[in-house]
Amino acid sequence: MNVKPQVFVTRRIPEEGIKILMEHCVTEVSDFDGVLPRETLLEKVKGKDGILCLLTDTIDREVMETAGPSLKVIANYAVGFDNIDVEEATRRGIMVTNTPGVLTETTADLTWALMMSIARRIVEGDKFVRAGKFRGWEPMLLLGTDVYGSTLGIIGFGRIGQAMARRASGFNMKVIYFDMQKAPSQIENELKASFRALSELLREADFVTIHVPLTSETYHLIGEQELKMMKKEAYLINSARGPIVDEKALARALEENWIRGAALDVFEREPKVEPKLLELDNVVLTPHLGSASYATRTKMAVMAADNLVRALRGEIPPNLVNRETISR
């Protein structure tokens, strides 16, 4: 590269990724503390060759038009890319990349922690002690649900879903899963997992965890009808994307005890949360922490930066989402 390409990063990411970008590109990193206002985003992308964005940034046709014909790559700092109009990017010959794989185990860890927390009422117990209510051991105090030996229902049997199944083996859990396609028999045998139709999974599982991407088909995949299929003693855990669950229906399910509890790391209108959920004790709420470990967020930064730099060099980035652009 004789003339370094121009790159804009929509929010501060770990320094290891920034260093890679600065070595190869003229790099501007947003100093705004939060999601960039729309007008600022549009101003900053003008004339840029590359954009490194977050899942909280909506990268649509307007952004691409504003950036202009120099824009060659949009590198998403996330495994999901529902925040980007990939079809429009492909039409314009703009590469779109993501950061798969590196956050699998970290997200599965967080999902498992949520499941344990809601089952054993950890958050309620913490609040109870801090409020000075603990008077000593009581036989009926904050009774929870055993995870060991129960049935785990996994919706979406990709990398993270399978990572959950591996963890379940240590807890002697029965593992059932639903996906649009059955997993190869080798994987089913290895993970001791059995396929179920969605309705069967909901009726059978003690814990239901969600690991599908957000698409038009998965929007409100879990709504009133599905929640009423679940056992009254069951729990729902979502660490995928908020709109997969109808939050109003879930709030009602928890308030009226259709199910015993829920744990959410993502929300339908993030960062807003359905107000009723904030009032309930039988739900654990965390602020989108799925990949939030030092090591994983750093790996994501390096991967996103590497994807972007390789694309600007004219190479095929290793995590290209829209491979149709290669033939252009």
Catalytic hit among 121, 167, 211, 288: 288
Catalytic hit among 24, 167, 211, 241: 241
Decide if 241 is catalytic: yes
Decide if 211 is catalytic: no
- Please, how many CA atoms are within 13 Å of residue 264, restricted to the half-sphere of its CB? 28
- Cα separation, 6 vs 2, whole angstroms: 13
Decide if 39 is catalytic: no
Q: Tell me how crowded residue 177 is: count the other CB atoms within 10 A of its CB.
A: 26
Which residues, at least 6 apart from 301, have a Cβ–Cβ distance to it below 8 Å? 13, 14, 15, 16, 17, 18, 77
Catalytic hit among 188, 190, 270, 324: 270
Residues belonging to the active site = 241, 270, 288
